[in-house]
Every structure is written in C-alpha cells, then in structure tokens.
Amino acid sequence: MNFGGTIRINRFGLLIIACLLIILVYYNISSSSSSEQPQKVNLRQLLLAALEAAEKGGHEVVKGSHEPSAGAESKGETKEGVNIPVTKADYNSHCVMFYGIAKTFPFLKVISEEGENEKGCKNLTPLELNSNVPNLPDEEVLASDVAIWIDPLDATKEYTERLFEYVTTMVCVSYQGKPIIGVIHKPFGSEPKTTWAWLNQAMSKNLQSINDNTGITSKNVLVSMSHAGKAHDLIEPIFGKDAKLVPAAGSGYKTLEVTAGNATAYIHASYISKWDICAGDAILTATGNDLKMSNSKIVEIPSYQSYILEIKILGGFMVLEIPAHEMMSRSNNNLLTRSIFAKNLSEFRLFTNH
C-alpha cells in the first residue's frame, strides 16, 4: 500500500471558501452594528398619535357620561383633604389612550394618571395615525429621550357633577425633559374641540390667531374650584384691587382660558401632577407665553412616586413660594412679561422618562 502520494490543493476552491468567509464576517459585523443603532421615533407620528389618543379618550369620557354607573370612587385625598375621585370613564379613557400609544410605540415610556392594567381593558384597537393635518415635517429623535404624559380625564370631580365644560383629555410629548408637543381635547359641547401645538413647528388653527399680548388687559384671575389653597391671598398683592377672582376647574380648561385671553392668570397654590401641566406647558410656550417657576420641588408621594410638584401657576407662569416682599413689589400688573421669574419650566427637565 502506497502512502506516499501527493495532495493537490484546488486554489479555486480555496478562493471560494475565502470569499464566503469574508461575506459571513461582514454580514455578522453589519448585523451587530445595526442592532446597536439606537431606536429613533418620528415626532410627526407622535403628534398624530397624541391627537388620535386624546380624541378617542374623549369619546370614552362622553360615552361614560350617559351611563348610569358613572359614579365616582375615591383614590385618596389632596394635601388639603379634598377627595380625589376616579370614575369608570377615567379608566376607559386611560385604556384607549395609554394602550393605544403604548402598542403603537412599544419602545417609548408612557405615563398616565390612572393605572388600569391591560387585562381590565376591553376592545383595544391600535392607533391608525391617519393624518388630517397637512404640511407636518418629518423629524426623528432618540426614543430614549422621549416620554409621553397623559391625563385621561381632567376635572373628574366636575365630571361627576356634570360640569362638562371643564372636562378635557390631555397628551404631552416631552423631549429631554422638555414638553414639545401638547394636546388638550374638549370632548363636550356642540362640537368637540382639540387644541394642539408642536413647539417651533406647527399648531392648531385656533392658536394661530392668538396675539402675543392676549390676556394682559383681562381682569379675570382663575383659581381652582376644588383646591384653591392660598391662592386667594395672592390675588390683590399681585394683580391689584381690580382683579376679578373666577373659580374654575381643570388644568386643561384653565390653561386654554389663559391662552385664549379670557383670563390674565391661573393661580394654583397647592400640589399638582405633572400630567396636569405638561400639555399646557407646550401650548403656552408655542404661543409666546412661558410656564415659569423660581424653583422646582418634586414632592415624593408613594402613590404617585415622583410625579407630583408643589407649585403655583400664574397665567403664563409657574412659581414656587413667592416671598412677601416679592409679591408687594410686583403689583404693577405686568405679570405676563417674560422677565419676572428667572427660569423657564422646561429648563428643569421635569418631564423625563425616568
């Protein structure tokens, strides 16, 4: 038996194998590299989702008002001892708004006032994102920098009292902690109305006609119907004796009243939730106003985690703890000028997804 034969190597075969190996290595590197690309999200699509979610939530709110079982339960009390009600309509609106957005953008953080889990929700349908808003730009940002804040039913107490004019649903998109898209939907009335703004890009038609000076000559000062806190004590020192105190409800409603010029200020002198002010911040800023505060103070409350702020809202401004001498020196009724308080609310990056 002869074991001394020679082995001939097929060079063409080796070339084929080498090429296949190179292709395989390149494919693996490309796949790894693409999988490491950070997730991005389209802000135009987020605006469309926010509009659709707010309107779908509003539909659930209106539908709930016709049901005999629309009564409220209590989920606690405010610092002042005022009951915090929640209704079936709150949960139904939460279901369509929260899960509509969460299922459309599963990689985004969505924060809602209510906490109904998916098992308690029925007939969930994805958002369609049909655009009836022309000429919106496409803009992509890192998804990790975005958070969605929703209030499925603002002014629940007034809803149970059938004071429907104060009721709204709200959606806010924050980017790097700053509100940039705000949607406030009023589901009741002869025709439901949605007010929205995308900072530096677009806004609803009713906002486009608002003058920068709107509201400065108004004597109306809005204060909460249910938890005014110490707001009454702030009226005369800041706005003078001619100011008219007007009780109203719902952060969304009061923000729109100030934006439209029906009131010169909205004072809130107690705790408030971030989902109550996020959409209004974006809308006020887009229309030339600023939500401002002299300091930020996040109050840790177990049931709400870090989503509560102790602040005061003054029309286009948000203020924390105004010293007495400061109030007395600002009685010239120029509270809507931009130089009164030091920092814009958005600079505090309070609306992050963490």
Residues tagged in the binding site annotation: 113, 151, 153-154, 276
d(C-alpha 99, C-alpha 114), whole Å: 12
Detail the DSSP E strand segments found in the chain: 40-42, 72-77, 83-87, 109-112, 140-142, 146-154, 168-175, 178-186, 193-198, 202-203, 220-224, 244-248, 265-267, 270-273, 292-293, 298-301, 305-314, 317-319, 343-344
Residue 94 CB partners (closer than 8 Å, separation 6+): 57, 112, 113, 114, 115, 116, 150, 152
Radius of gyration for the chain, computed over Cα atoms and rounded to the nearest angstrom: 26
DSSP string, 211-225: -TTTTTT--EEEEES
Locate tokens 């509270």: which residue? 335
Indicate the SS3 state at residue 336.
coil
Q: Helix 43-65 crosses helix 88-104 at what angle (to 10 degrees)?
A: 160
Dist CA 181 CA 165 (whole Å): 23
Binding site listing for Mg(2+): 113, 151, 153-154, 276
Identify whether the C-beta of residue 266 lies closer than 8 Å to the C-beta of residue 315. yes
List CB contacts of 157: < 8 A, sequence separation 6 or more.
72, 83, 85, 226, 249
Distance CA 156, CA 325 (A): 37
Q: Which of these, 155, 185, 174, lies nearest to 285 by C-alpha position? A: 174
Which DSSP string do the residues of 88-115 spell out, in sequence order? HHHHHHHHHHHHHHHHHSTTSEEEES--
